[in-house]
Amino acid sequence: MSSSPLNQEGNRFFQQGQYGEAMAYYRRALELDRRTENPWDMAATLGNLANVYAATGKNEEALTCYREVLGIHRKLGNRQVIGITLVNMGNLHADRHETERAKAFYLEAADFLEPSGDVRGLAMLYGNLALVVRDEGDLPSAVDYFEKAILQLRRLGDSSELARTINSLGKTHLMQARAEEALKCCQEALAMSRGLNDDLGMAAAWYNLVAVHEGMGRLDEAIDLLARVVAVDERYTLPKLEENRRRLKQLMQIREGGKHVRT
């Protein structure tokens, strides 16, 4: 007897954000898998359990499940799944700001995923690795990894994730004081997000463009864009609302002060 129907029910609840119900089905599936000793079914169930644990902030439990998945697929020789599992484990360490451990998992994952040509897996790997090395201050490597991720995302045709990654590349250029490169990336990300009617994606691009224009001395453009960011913050009650309101007020005061100086 296969645990697949139980996993499918669990997946349905998981997609609806009903994690408790999903967990109940996955645990029943795992009980069945341990009786039947089907390694493929067991690995799939453990992976689903890990996803629920990760979604509910139970990182240690998620890591325990992923370790068991990893052991199963190392025996089965499924290099692609080994690579994805290593990426998922790296993500959990990255969530805990354990950048060295996260990077170690990502780099090991690359050894498995790069020969497989798994476009989606490589896009996820390179994008996450870029964020980790950027946090470590290695901005040139972050740019390289973001560009690799973008190449894979263009092949995949995932416009939403592509826009986010291009915007992240723009932020990285900004951190290197490369204003023109940052401007180009953020404008491209903005155009893509606008085409997708993605308010949050547009706000993320506007936010980076605020810093670009402010750095270039274009206060009017920076204020206009930040006002748009604040409007999105208000619409969705986002956590940086008050911070962005204060920044907007400061920019407006700087602009007014500059006008008084000129007169």
pLDDT digits (tens, 9 = 90+) for 166-217: 999 999 999 999 999 999 999 999 999 999 999 999 999 999 999 999 999 9
- Identify the domain boundary among 38, 57, 77: 77
Domain assignment of residue 169, yes or no? no
Which residue do the tokens 């989606």 mark?
A: 120
Residue ranges in the chain whose pLDDT is less than 70: 259-263
Provide the token pair at 248: 């907007």
Domain assignment of residue 172, yes or no? no
User: By three-state DSSP, how is residue 216 classified?
Assistant: coil
CA distance 21 to 27: 10
Domain encompassing residue 217:
178-263
Same structural domain, 191 and 263: yes
CATH number of the CATH domain containing 245: 1.25.40
Count of domains observed in the chain: 3
Same structural domain, 210 and 139: no
What local confidence, expressed as pLDDT, does residue 259 receive?
Answer: 64
Q: Is 0.75 surpassed by the pTM of this model?
A: yes
What local confidence, expressed as pLDDT, does residue 202 receive?
Answer: 98
- Identify the domain boundary among 77, 110, 131: 77
Domain assignment of residue 12, yes or no? yes
Same structural domain, 242 and 256: yes
Q: Are 66 and 53 in contact (CB under 8 A)?
A: no
Q: Are 152 and 123 in contact (CB under 8 A)?
A: yes
